[in-house]
Amino acid sequence: MSAQECLFCRIAGRSLPAEVVGEAEGLLAIKDRNPQAPTHLLIIPTEHIPTLADATDGHTALLGRAVQFANRLARQHQLVPSGYRLVINCGAGAGQSVWHLHFHLLGGRLLRWPPG
């Protein structure tokens, strides 16, 4: 899939609208259009990486920045006291539906285990 066809590449390139809630080096955070919790944010790299399995050693710093960015967003959205979940779905069998690596940050309600 090319960047022109990728939903998240188009959002990151600002050619598609989204509710942006934060930016960090190489990362963008948006509100999920189909939230599964009161707070449901998507953290997307601005570089097109189809799945977590496609990430290389060269992406190690980016992945670390994404986790720290998620922590900052969780604090900003007051999720830390009650807890939050950070999820990456890798592949169709795991529930990935957009073929661009992204993290789901969920919180604001009791999150049960197992998730589904």
pTM of the model as a whole = 0.94
Asked if the structure places residue 94 within a domain, the reply is: yes
What is the DSSP annotation of 25-58? TTEEEEE-SS-SSSEEEEEEESS---SGGG--GG
* Rg of the chain in Å (alpha carbons): 14
Structure tokens at 41: 């944010």
Instruction: Give the single-character DSSP code of 101.
Output: -
Evaluate whether residue 2 is within a structural domain. Answer: no
For residue 112, being part of any structural domain is answered with no
Residue-wise pLDDT for 74-99, tens only, equals 999 999 999 999 999 999 999 999 99
Neighbours of 53 (CB within 10 A): 9
Active site residues: 102
| CA torsion angle 6 106 29 88 (round to 10) | -50
The predicted-structure confidence for 3-58, as pLDDT tens digits, reads as follows 678 999 999 999 999 999 999 999 999 999 999 999 999 999 999 999 999 999 99
Domain housing 11: 7-107
